[in-house]
Structure 1
Amino acid sequence: MAKLTDYTSYADAQQYASSTALWDLFDGNLDRLNIAHECIDRHADGSGRIAVRIAHSDGRDEALSFDQISSGSSRFAHWLQENGIEPGERVAFMLEPSLPFYLCLFGAIKRGAISVPLFTLFGLDGLRLRVDDCKPKLLITNAEKFEMASQVEGVRVIVADDALLAELTQYPDSYEVTSKANDLAIFQYTSGTTRLLPAAVKHTHRALVVLMFAALYGTGIRPEDQFFCPSSPAWGHGLWHGTLAPLGLGVTTGTFAGRFDATRLMKAMQDYGITNMSAASTHYRMMRNAGTADQFTFAIKKLSYTGEPIDSATLDFIDATFHVPACSMYGTTEIGVVLVNYPGAPDFQVKPGSLGKPIPGQKLEVQKPDGTPSDPDVIGELMLWRREGWETTKDLAKIDDEGYFYHAGRADDVIISAGWTMSAVEIENTLLKHPDVKEAAVIGVPDATRGQVVKAFIVTPRPGDDEYVKELQVFTRERLSQHEFPRHVEIVEELPKTPAGKVNRKILRDQEQEKLAAAAN
């Protein structure tokens, strides 16, 4: 009997995709399910087949097999049991992709505990906030982070080193899982800044099944793929779409460890024979800026991206380098992926810059402030139908007359100047078309006459003299409209970003408020 992985077309997705069909991809059922079994153990057949390839920033390549992760995570589950970790308790780990990372992730899940991956670049305050929120029994990290982590109160800190791996060898290499589908399995922290304090998004084992809509139609994963996702598995995209989704289908996945380097990524894509990659928009932009793509040969058949829209110059680079369209996938840690471009579907037209169309079974709408649908090409609030009602995504969007959605920025990224409503994203994308602009961020700043005016922060190799500023202003006005241009331009060495690589406009807004407050005093 055919499964959803046997179909590739958009028409088939609309006809055959259903929650029932998703369950046919797994061993578990509505009652019993375990993420570690579905992603690792059922694919560990003694053949040594590779589960994860790791491209280290120092040039090393590492390959971990399903067999290796299966036996090691079982031993770690036994170790957790002997160390008093009970089902439902949290096990946090702050590790780069490595054998210890995957043993912790899947071993805790086998034990029935809750895995909590944490970003390796957290400082003491960021780490303490998350530990205080999820209250783990154990925090596992590397030797470099041990001293800092030990300053966090109320948690036992363990170093994942050769001594720990050696200790695990005394335990059995299989572990009987007993979790139910609705048991909690993973606590996931978002990389955004919408909360004053971090709060974990809590996922059950069943979340893996729901995830497959995004895997099949957002990243286009199929069993024959060689997959890669350079996003950190401490965040939603790297963990769910880059790790759990491909492994859940038995697909070899690749990841990046250490400080990101675009040239190193492209070498790994070549050496690993990657055919399908999902990355953040920033990763593609950094590949373009690296100027080294012509040194490599690629086998790419499908590409997807998330995080924020990609500017037209980077889309042109993708077309010229990989010869396949870049397919946006839109969602959040809280709501999951809801808009996709169906990578690999021969009957789906990918429109540059579009978020695509809803995944099967989802209903979205762009609405006016009064809750009625917006007209085509008119910006409104993007709403998602959930639980018999409309829920806000807190994003702005527009929809064209063929049903394609387009992102228009966060609701708080709207700039209203002298009665004109402007999108920070649209102005940024225009600035990025200038050949000397490497990165751009736009915010609204207070103005006594207009209420707000546009300020642009520009990363560029050129000096920021008055002539260059005027050039950028004219460049923007000629491409948008007479009122849509940055009245203020500041040249900066780098832009603040979230840990997931998105431009953090909130930090820029906060900095401007601090400047105003200081000037007033």
Structure 2
Amino acid sequence: MISGLTDYTRYADAQAHASSAALWELFDGDREYFNIAHECVTRHADGSERDAVRIAHADGADEVLSFDTIAKGAAQFAHWLDAQGVRPGERIAFMLEPSLPFYVCLFGAMQTGAISVPLFTLFGPDALRLRIGDCEPEILVTNAEKAELARSVAADGKPKVIVADEAFLASLGDLPTSYEPRTRANDMAVFQYTSGTTRELPEAVKHSHRTLVTLMFAALYGTGIRPGDAFFCPSSPAWGHGLWHGTLAPLALGVTTGTFAGRFDPVRLMRALDDFGITNMSAAATHYRMMKNSGRAADFTFRFDKLSFTGEPIDPATLEWIDQWFKVPACSMYGTTEIGVVLVNYPGAEDFPVKPGALGKAVPGQRLEVQRPDGSVCDPGEIGELMLWRAGTWMTTKDRAKTDADGYFYHCGRADDVIISAGWTMSAVEIENTMLRHDDVLECGVIGVPDEQRGQVVKAFVVSNRAADDAFVRELQDFTRERLAQHEFPRLVEFVDELPKNPAGKVHRKMLRDREAAKDAEAVG
């Protein structure tokens, strides 16, 4: 049983006991030799067939994989990679939904010293080709459905495309079921691509094996994971939240985790939360909102002790719904793939009051400030740029924020999501959150669009089941300015069937801005 920092749950204990040295004590490896696959799977495979991953498939099926099953398959895949001549440092990409092949490939590649590259299963040819061209994997593992797409991006036989079906797994059956990794802590383990539009290539974030150690601050204090939890994260493990917080962190602590495979369905998720008896969930804000909008919460029984979310702030109406149905506060954790999680709300800490809408406070060892353009610290309530002290200097997060008198941080939108109209500075996030409180608004995205008189005006894109007409527009405008300020409302409202979102489920405001710019250019032309 893992102990040490996991024995403590209070905020005061985190401040008193959390340290880099204490994190290393949670693992078998050390600062010289360390392997993620060993820490997450092999050391917990004790012959008991204890559950490691529970998968809720969109078609209604449940799949449960044990630590022993994953460890055996990963070792066999590692030996197969060795036989293929794959060398340490070479990349193995895989485009798979959560499944036995996914975990076998993820951990098997890392055991050999190769670098695992998870790829989103809904990538089209352009997005896939860009990423394959960037990381240059030796092998791309996928399923039968995606095999033709995978082969279409290969050039001169590289990468070699492998279909990870039952026949392939069976072909590994004669290989040894144990493998001794010799990776160093600083060896690369994972290349993670952040979300972006199809024709843009976000730079791969490169993680070493020792990244798992620093990740545990987020696990312990962002998601509140402790041995004994029944954990679930519906985010795809192709992205940072689903991979690091939903998969690697809980498994490293020997905690059974759960995930979702296939097209997301909020009712299917709630059924899985009930069936699996989930006590701790970390999800995207969009997941919570979609569950609320389904209207089906009364059909299920929930057993939560801890909840967390990431990706973007949760609007007040959804927070109220969470309080009503889940009975525990939803705790924000803030960070990015590049910098990690730096602000948390310490789920499960009885001495840490969770304030609605707050990002929380810094994880142990991190230092953040809200600063003015001249670098001075903003007063409580004053909006500025959120800055992180890292490697002896202040670095920008590209987010705007404010603090309160108790030292809690609050998100005020991306720096490029600020709208300045007729001299007034407005937050797209604040306007969205207000509009989402309207009973007939299911989803909302807000941007600033050019205006000759005001410089910019607020435009809202609204998803609603209610018929769109001028009266509804005026109602939304009045609803917003009555709750914010007389100048702070959408002068333009467009009703849409759906909003563009990035793979993490966040409203893609840049895409909305790009669409508007393209329409303006077309009108001028």
Residue in structure 1 matched with residue 494 of structure 2 by the alignment = 490
Please give the secondary structure, in 2, of the residue aligned with 1:279.
strand
Please give the secondary structure, in 1, of the residue aligned with 2:358.
coil
CA apart distance, 1:2: 6.0
Distance (whole Å) between structure 2 residues aligned to residue 385 and residue 280 of structure 1: 26
Residue in structure 2 matched with residue 249 of structure 1 by the alignment = 253
- Letter paired with 1:403: G
Distance (whole Å) between structure 2 residues aligned to residue 446 and residue 205 of structure 1: 47
Distance (whole Å) between structure 1 residues aligned to residue 499 and residue 127 of structure 2: 20
- Letter paired with 2:163: V
Distance (whole Å) between structure 2 residues aligned to residue 439 and residue 397 of structure 1: 23
2:127–2:199 contact (8 Å) kept in structure 1: no
The one of 182, 207, 212 aligned to 2:211: 207
Residue in structure 1 matched with residue 6 of structure 2 by the alignment = 5
Does residue 1:359 correspond to 2:363, yes or no? yes
The one of 228, 239, 246 aligned to 2:243: 239
Please give the secondary structure, in 1, of the residue aligned with 2:39.
helix
The one of 268, 274, 283 aligned to 1:270: 274
Distance (whole Å) between structure 2 residues aligned to residue 267 and residue 477 of structure 1: 38
Please give the secondary structure, in 1, of the residue aligned with 2:307.
strand
Does residue 1:197 correspond to 2:201, yes or no? yes
Does residue 1:61 correspond to 2:62, yes or no? yes
Please give the secondary structure, in 2, of the residue aligned with 1:150.
helix
Residue in structure 1 matched with residue 93 of structure 2 by the alignment = 92
The one of 417, 424, 428 aligned to 2:421: 417
CA apart distance, 1:162: 1.1
CA apart distance, 1:197: 2.1
The one of 359, 379, 393 aligned to 1:375: 379
Q: Residues 308-319 of structure 1: matches in 2 within 5 Å?
A: 308-319=312-323
- Percent sequence identity over aligned pairs: 72
Q: Residues 264-413 of structure 1: matches in 2 within 5 Å?
A: 264-413=268-417
- Letter paired with 1:88: G
CA apart distance, 1:195: 9.6
2:55–2:62 contact (8 Å) kept in structure 1: yes
Please give the secondary structure, in 2, of the residue aligned with 1:356.
strand
Residue in structure 1 matched with residue 264 of structure 2 by the alignment = 260
1:129–1:198 contact (8 Å) kept in structure 2: no
Does residue 1:480 correspond to 2:484, yes or no? yes
Runs of 4+ in structure 1 deviating by more than 3 angstroms, as ranges, are: 192-196
Residue in structure 1 matched with residue 147 of structure 2 by the alignment = 146
Q: RMSD between aligned alpha carbons? A: 1.1
1:395–1:407 contact (8 Å) kept in structure 2: yes
Distance (whole Å) between structure 1 residues aligned to residue 456 and residue 115 of structure 2: 46
Residue in structure 2 matched with residue 71 of structure 1 by the alignment = 72
- Letter paired with 1:472: L
- Letter paired with 1:435: D
CA apart distance, 1:192: 4.0
Please give the secondary structure, in 1, of the residue aligned with 2:465.
coil
Please give the secondary structure, in 1, of the residue aligned with 2:359.
coil
Distance (whole Å) between structure 2 residues aligned to residue 132 and residue 375 of structure 1: 47
**TM-score computed with the length of structure 2 as normaliser:** 0.98
Residue in structure 1 matched with residue 27 of structure 2 by the alignment = 26
2:196–2:202 contact (8 Å) kept in structure 1: no
Distance (whole Å) between structure 1 residues aligned to residue 458 and residue 134 of structure 2: 37
Does residue 1:432 correspond to 2:433, yes or no? no
Distance (whole Å) between structure 1 residues aligned to residue 371 and residue 401 of structure 2: 9
Residue in structure 2 matched with residue 36 of structure 1 by the alignment = 37
CA apart distance, 1:227: 0.3
1:310–1:353 contact (8 Å) kept in structure 2: yes
CA apart distance, 1:506: 0.6
CA apart distance, 1:462: 1.3
Please give the secondary structure, in 2, of the residue aligned with 1:394.
strand
Cα deviation, 1:441-468, whole Å, max 9, x if unaligned, reads 0000000000000000000111221111
- Letter paired with 1:239: L
